Amino acid sequence: MTTSDTTNPGTDAGPEPVAGPDSRLHTFFNDPRWALAMVRATVLEAAHPQIGAALIDNSTFVAHPWRRLHNTFLSMQRMIGADAQVRGREAARLNRMHERLKGTDPRSRPYDAMDPGARAWVVATLYESSVTMCRLSGQPLDQAFMEELYAEFRAVLATMGDEPGQLPDSLPEFWQYFDRTVEEELENTEAMRIILYKLFDHLPAPPLLSGFPTLWATGRAVAGPVVGAIAVASLPESFRRRAGLPEMPGAQTLMQGTYLAVGLARFLPAGWIQPEAVIDLLALSPDSDDPRARTVAALHSRMKRAGALLRLITPLPAQSAPASRTASATDSAQRQDAEGFFRQVLDQTGNGSLDWPDLAAMARELAGRLDLDEPEETRLYHAFADWWRELQSALDSDGDGSISAQEYAAAAPGLAGPALIRVAETLFEVTDRNGDQQIDADEYRTLFRTAFHRDVSGAGGVTYTRSAFVREFLTFMSGRQRSTPFDPLLAGA
């Protein structure tokens, strides 16, 4: 097992382990059951008042769940990897992100994503759900394994810079801490209810299945309630009663059967169940330059032709001649397009209005994709903050501190002001890592994770000048054009 030179406080076990390929924690990373454990852990996190409030106000998990899944997986992969420098860099990035997440909940209670107790609870839910996952699937962990795993989770918290005492020193003390937190601090929060009763029922299709809306909707209608029921059944019984969470008949049997069935996937070939491969495949867009995208595009094309043939041979009801398009009809269509852009791109948190957390989420996504260090990340956040002030000044007609879809649609054509131009220029500068004033193939892929829609073979692969990048970004962010790489970047689920 990989070890560090630090000692685990309160024990005589010697050096405290860190994550890596030989760690206990890493054995769970490719275990399909861990997906169920992560859902359970997320529900328990969201039931914590501070974490639940931060999720509601700042997270994109409702509007962009697949993107959030990809980013969470990437962060976890870095945090449990063998490279100490990568772990430290990711911990610093997460801390910078959490420092920006502060506010008050609907009951006027302050929340702070840097609160030591809340951060410790996140790690605690991951550990407890991992142990519970094994128990529910009929393979309970022995005491030695649980203690080693617990030490590794404490090491992850220490990597984040938190004081060791935020989680108890010993495993018996941890179980007391966990039970006490469940009994005294957890609540039936809005974030928890959304995860259990809305998220899975309304989960948008991942890019891979975006061309099959009927198929996705049918599968979601069946699977969504089942996933929610399994998550509820797996929660501590005392909390279920106190939070008033209904448990459907047979849910316990269904839950245990699901854990057992998913556990059998461990015997499949390793390449089939690696989470990185699965998540990347789900996030694959048909127009990506990934070789697998050709197969996806061909499948999408065949499905569309089959649908067209079906419509051709199916009698259609008689339709009246379309009316000529009047100026008012054109204006109405433009407003609908603007409101659609508002919902899919600008409203990143999915709460129905445009607020600073929505633009902060854009900055966070862009900074994460580019893996920016602190100075560049701060520049990008400041540029988006200036744009938010510009938008408020121009669009917040009722002065309520947020912008509605109607306020945006009424003024959408004139959005490309100086602050938005500065956002585009800043994004170009932080993407252009080598400073040659052009974005090459590798820099482009780092930002967009998709195909170029351009010839990248000539002139050394240089494809994007500053002016072209800024022009395309402004065209997109003002809602005038959706057929650009920025659409999957900021609008994709």
Query: Are 286 and 492 a contacting pair, CB within 8 Å?
Result: no
- Residue 231's H or E segment, with its range, is helix 213-234
Number of domain units in the chain = 2
Check pLDDT > 50 for residue 102. yes
The structure tokens listed for 304 are 């569309």
The mean predicted confidence, pLDDT, of the chain is 82
Asked whether residue 314 is domain-assigned, the answer is: no
- What is the pLDDT, as a whole number, of residue 489? 82
Check pLDDT > 50 for residue 459. no
Asked whether residue 307 is domain-assigned, the answer is: no
Specify the length of the chain in residues.
Answer: 493
How far is 210 from 202, CA to CA, in rounded Å? 14
- Helix, strand, or coil here: 206? coil
Residues paired with residue 354 on neighbouring β-strands, in sequence order: 403
Asked whether residue 305 is domain-assigned, the answer is: no
Mean pLDDT of 278-284: 64
How far is 198 from 271, CA to CA, in rounded Å? 32
11 shares its domain with 142 = yes
Domain boundary among 213, 235, 267: 267
The structure tokens listed for 399 are 């002065």
36 shares its domain with 136 = yes
The pLDDT-based confidence of 467 (bands split at 50, 70, 90) is: very high
362 shares its domain with 215 = no
Check pLDDT > 90 for residue 143. yes
**Domain range for 449:** 331-490
Query: Are 466 and 41 a contacting pair, CB within 8 Å?
Result: no
Asked whether residue 195 is domain-assigned, the answer is: yes
Asked whether residue 61 is domain-assigned, the answer is: yes
Task: Please tell me the pTM assigned to this model.
Answer: 0.82
CB atoms within 10 A of CB 209: 15
- What is the pLDDT, as a whole number, of residue 367? 94
363 shares its domain with 215 = no
Domain boundary among 267, 291, 309: 267
Query: Are 157 and 167 a contacting pair, CB within 8 Å?
Result: yes
- What is the pLDDT, as a whole number, of residue 247? 78
Asked whether residue 476 is domain-assigned, the answer is: yes
Check pLDDT > 70 for residue 248. yes
Which has the higher per-residue pLDDT, 201 or 439?
A: 439
Domain boundary among 267, 293, 311: 267
- Residue 385's H or E segment, with its range, is helix 374-395
Q: Which of 1-5, 25-29, 280-284, 413-417 is predicted most confidently?
A: 25-29
Q: Which residue has the tokens 């801390």?
A: 95
- What is the pLDDT, as a whole number, of residue 27? 81
348 shares its domain with 250 = no
Which has the higher per-residue pLDDT, 175 or 332?
A: 175
126 shares its domain with 24 = yes
How far is 33 from 136, CA to CA, in rounded Å? 10
Give the tens place of pLDDT for each residue, 307-338.
555 555 655 455 455 545 455 555 555 566 77
Query: Are 357 and 349 a contacting pair, CB within 8 Å?
Result: yes
Which has the higher per-residue pLDDT, 126 or 77?
A: 126
Phi, psi of 372 (to 5 degrees): -75, 145
124 shares its domain with 200 = yes
Asked whether residue 311 is domain-assigned, the answer is: no
- Helix, strand, or coil here: 104? strand
Give the tens place of pLDDT for each residue, 406-418.
888 887 656 678 9
